[in-house]
Chain A
Amino acid sequence: MQRFSLYQEEFHPSPLANVWIEFKRSHLAVFGLIILGLFLLVTILAPIISPYDPYMQNTNTILLPPVWEPNGSISHFFGTDALGRDVLSRLLYGIRVTFGSSLIIVGIAVFIGVGFGALAGLLSGIKSSVVNHLFDSIMSIPTLLIAIVVVAILGTGLANAIFAITLALVPQFIHQTRSFVKSELTKDYVTLDKLDGAGPVRIFFKSILPNMVELIVVQATIALSIAMIDISALGFLSLGAQTPSIELGQILSESLDSAYVTPWLVALPGIFILLMVLSVNMVGEGLRSALRNRFNH
């Protein structure tokens, strides 16, 4: 006997599954996700998949062109640089550092930002106001300026660049979290929690945080793309990663010396930075429109 069905579908996807269904509809976003996954794989597996030691100098093969040029050789896919180092291996290691440190930056920024933001949102009065003002003012100062000051105090280096960019990214998470918590506190389900006798800590972790995860993920994709561009920009200006360590922006600035002879050495790191940022932005954009349209079926 056929059952009478009131609903169009028997299966009700969870909100998260709804997001995924909507996200899949955009091919560009899925494509971005795949590229992002590849970059993540490279970040983890760079030492295993790179064909050569990125520091090994081979003076017999200097400035070898990439494989698609007539003089190129398959033994060095992207050719070699001015010191005879394999460019492919260097780029893979560069991706590892740039991508990996951006992930670290965003991880720390989310952790600190959400913590302080929750504190500022739950508190009121003078304490809240001090926290707000302090971090809001940092938010509008250009990242490069913060980086310059941090580098001037602590010296150049990847760790200091990471510190500077984290400092610049934290305020926006504080801002977002605070305004979200403030607006949620006036809603009924929080009032219900309060009537049940829940304290502010429990309200935040059990009621507000689950609702906030999506907002944070979207904000984190934006922050991730900013962190990637900033860390490579600092590397390019030789304020970030220094010569022994390998970073995409720093590879780019090193290859400027031979830019006339070997333009591909300038092009390749830039293309990888662009691809990396583009994939993050495509995923972020797809996620945002998926969250917006997930209940519109």
Chain B
Amino acid sequence: MIKLLIRYFNLMVITIFALIVLSFLLPYLFPGDLLTNVSGIVPQSELQREALAKAYRLDQSYFSQFQLYLSNLFSGNWGVSSVSQLDLLEEIKRAFPATLELVIYALLVATFVGIPVGFISGLKHHNPADFSVVTFSIVGYSFPVFWLALLFITIFCLQLQWLPISGRVDLLYEVQHQTGFVIIDIWLSGLDNTKDAYLNALRHAILPTLSIAVVTTALFIRFTRRSTMDVMEKGYIIAAKSRGFTQRQIFFKHGFKNALIPILPILALQISTLITNAMIVENIFSWPGIGYWLIQAIYQQDYPAIRAGMLVVALFVLTLTITIEFITRALDPTKEETARAAV
């Protein structure tokens, strides 16, 4: 156990270090002025240029620049955006929770719809209901998310006019930015019409959530169904059946847990796909998340922003993946002990 912990801790430290080195190298690879790429400031005079170059140690060795980068990174001094001159850390603190919020909603939908449906269709496989579920699942994960989002907009916003097209909550409600999660922010803001504000936020969240949840739900159904079918053919299930247990008892005693264990890590790894999809869909719904922010940064060639955003998202995904791997390895003793730690 301790060995495992050390191994995964090592893996985590090495990957994070590799990412930080990569993000340190990015400004040298980006086109344009190195000084602007590093600092986010366009020098107005030769004097300022020299002062900035000195401040960012561009006249010294790469190693010393890296040292400065590391200390800046850990002290929260992430530089400014070259377009808006706003502090990058503050901007990311604003944008990233919005993406996470969307991902969490979609994950909830996928978990509470996908897994039960997958169980049911896996238990009663090869009947008409199961076939329709399988068909939905194949079509579901073949959908390009951006087109699905456009379809939803066309149907529910333009034709039926049921739901709002863009944003997170109407400007009518003065929600202060505090944590970045709109649900918590509304609660902290202490508005008079909290209930209306919640309803409004919910109406804004429905379409983006659905657009990215469809694909993930379809995948969840598929994995759960397959795993349930495999488990229900195992010897111990047949043995339990021959002892006269009902289908219900067998499933909840034996089938449920054993079907879930092998797929939990696969399901958890879908978060990476979910973040990608959320980042695409944000652009369509003008959801002020990290994807929208990064794509805007690309359009405006805001290289300091790209560097910081990339580092944060990649760090988040990697840390999450390694933690999930570690937990599943620690919980599942059937996995071979000598297997190497892997992301």
Contacts and interface: CB of A to CB of B under 8 A. Distances in A.
Nearest to A234: B280
A137 B15 contact: yes
Nearest to B158: A260
Contacts of A71: none
Contact of A140 (B142, B158, B306, B343): B343
Which size bracket describes the interface of A in this complex? 35 or more
A137 B318 contact: yes
B187 interface: no
Interface stretch (B82-90, B243-251, B269-277): B269-277
Interface stretch (B58-66, B147-155, B253-261): B147-155
B139 A133 contact: no
B295 A277 contact: no
Nearest to A142: B276
B231 to A, nearest CB: 15
Contacts of B9: none
Nearest to A239: B298
Nearest to B148: A270
Contacts, number: 118
B30 A139 contact: no
A152 B303 contact: yes
B154 A148 contact: no
A132 B306 CA distance: 27
A236 interface: yes
Contact of A274 (B147, B301, B303): B147
Contacts of B280: 144, 233, 236-237
Given A142-B279, A144-B280, A270-B151, A137 B343 contact: yes
B235 interface: no
Interface stretch (B49-57, B70-78, B175-183, B309-317): B309-317
B3 interface: no
A140 B272 contact: yes
Contacts of B15: 133, 137
Contacts of A129: 340
Contact of B306 (A149, A155, A249): A149
B343 A139 contact: yes
Interface of A: 129, 132-134, 136-137, 139-145, 148-149, 151-153, 155, 175, 225, 229, 232-233, 236-237, 239, 249, 252, 256, 259-260, 263, 266, 269-270, 273-274, 277-278, 280-282, 285
12 contacts: A133-B343, A140-B318, A142-B272, A144-B279, A148-B295, A148-B298, A249-B144, A259-B150, A273-B147, A274-B144, A277-B144, A280-B142
